[in-house]
Amino acid sequence: MRISSLVLFLAMYSLSECESAAADGELEIATFSVEITPALGLPVGQGFIPILETAEHPLFARGILLKDSGTACVICTLDLMEVHNESYDFLRQAIASAAGVDESHVALQCLHQHTAPAVATGAQRYELEEDDSRRIATADYLVQLAKNLSKAVSESKKNWKRVTHIGSGRAKVEQVASNRRIERPDGSIQGRSSNTKSAPALRELPEGLIDPWVRTVSLEEGDRPVAQLHYYASHPQSFYGDGRASSDVPGIIREQLEKDTGAFQLYLTGCGGDVAFGKYNDGSRAARSELVARLQAGIEKSITSITRETAAPLKWSVDSMSFPMRTDEPFSEAANRRILADPDAGAGQRRKAAIALAWIERVKSGRPVQLSCLAIGRVRMLHLPGEPFVQYQLAAQKMLADQFVCVAGYGDCGMGYIGGDRIYNDRGGYEQTYAFAGPCEDLLSQTMKRLLTAASTDESPTP
């Protein structure tokens, strides 16, 4: 199936009518899970990782549908590195149609494992010929993913369960996350990635700025958890680059917790753009086992710390953000078109140029990026795009210090990293070289504050 079939699929695929509201104001939940591991041996994705040849663990799309008498919404996670622009919109539209909700009421977040592909068909239109095998395989995968997601979401609506209480808890996680942008005495940045096998001295550097807390939201019927959502801010991969598909640390924990609790488990990656496992990870299987054990111990403590309250009505708030374009010449349309026209340009250069051009196209089209926040009682679940730095998660928690604020990153990742404005002047580090939007620290902070404030009032931002 070719890329031109993406729109045709949405037009032809049988999707449900809008879901009826829950009776008498009751809160209800439905859950879904479907495997999304690409066919092995095919060049699916942007080429950040080798073609997947084996599957150590299956990749999944997992999520929840929530509804009461006034609101319905979906939170869906993907075991994928990231999804960009039109590919993201396409999947979100498919989920919305199957759930019977407006597209603005779907939060679609990747976990960002680098043991899974990134999907950006818009960028591939710039980089690859129409008959290129990678472009074909990626488009086919995207359409099949949408079909499988639509079916799973539709079928989940046969099994609604009541939610009478919502619980919230948190616990510190020891020796897992570490900042990967360490400032040297001269003000330059020392990078530290997800594993430090080739540079053990980096493990001696301090943790740096992180959010050490894992946060849990528990949706319960009586005293029995029906679904639990866990939020933690770090790049989630312990290894990558060897052709192994894996849901990695969060997937291993998610599966074990589901066996142990009997409740549906959802893991969401927080603002981990500048946070990874590097200080505590040498890339070995032993290190992964230790990371799994320490993060799972933190989540289990978070679960035992849960305090419960009667479920309140849902409030879903949406706001739109128009990111600025970068004005420095290497990020201009002309500069990136020159790279794609250069027969000597390397694969990495071409891929990055194509992603930049797809983002420029997105901005010029006037299509903003949507952010959302779900409020239930004192709990706030904020959904952000891109790879946001941990400073935004910490800021969101301070904005509503008397509420329980959870933050998920890695929605639409077309703009790449979202750091503080200082990154554009940093010496060292590489995140600023994969940040396709311009300085936006104040704009994002203001948008987050509007969403969190709207969730606590009767007002709602206009999408």
290-302 average pLDDT score:
98
pLDDT at 350: 98
Confidence label for 218 from pLDDT (cuts 50, 70 and 90): very high
Q: Provide the pLDDT for residue 337.
A: 98
The percent helix, strand, coil of the chain (3-state, each to 5) is: 35, 25, 40
CA 293 – CA 297 distance, rounded (Å): 6
Pairing of strands 379-383, 404-408: parallel
Tens-digit pLDDT profile for residues 304-328: 999 999 999 999 999 999 999 999 9
> What pLDDT was estimated at residue 455?
67
* Model confidence at 10: pLDDT above 80: no
The yes-or-no verdict on residue 356 having pLDDT over 50 is: yes
pLDDT band at residue 463 under the 50/70/90 scheme: very low
Report the 10 Å Cβ neighbour count for 460: 16
- What is the distance between the alpha carbons of residues 421 and 274, in angstroms, rounded to a whole number? 14
Radius of gyration of the chain from Cα atoms?
A: 21
- Statement: residue 118 has pLDDT above 60: yes
pLDDT score of 3: 45
pLDDT digits (tens, 9 = 90+) for 385-399: 999 999 999 999 999
* pLDDT given at position 21: 58
Instruction: Looking at 116-191, list the stretches that DSSP marks H as alpha helix, in order from N- to C-terminal side.
Output: 121-127, 133-156
**How high is the mean pLDDT of the chain?**
94
Residue 383 contacts residue 372 (beta carbons within 8 Å)? yes
Mean pLDDT of 354-365: 97
Using one digit for the tens of pLDDT, what is the confidence trace for 14-25? 344 445 555 566
DSSP state of 69: S
Q: How many CA atoms lie within 13 A of 399 on its CB side?
A: 24
Mean pLDDT of 83-97: 98
Tell me the pLDDT tens digit for each residue of 408-425.
999 999 999 999 999 999
Tens digits of residue pLDDT in 135-157: 999 999 999 999 999 999 999 99
The pLDDT of residue 30:
98
Q: Is the pLDDT score of 181 beyond 80? A: yes
**pLDDT tens-digit series, residues 25-74:** 699 999 999 999 999 999 999 999 999 999 999 999 999 999 999 999 99
Residue 8 is predicted with a pLDDT of 46
Report the share of the chain in percent with pLDDT over 90: 92
Strands 27-35 and 224-232 turn out to be unpaired
Asked if residues 408 and 109 have their Cβ atoms less than 8 Å apart, the reply is yes
The confidence score (pLDDT) of residue 18 equals 43
CA distances from 171 to 16, 152, 317 (A): 40, 32, 27
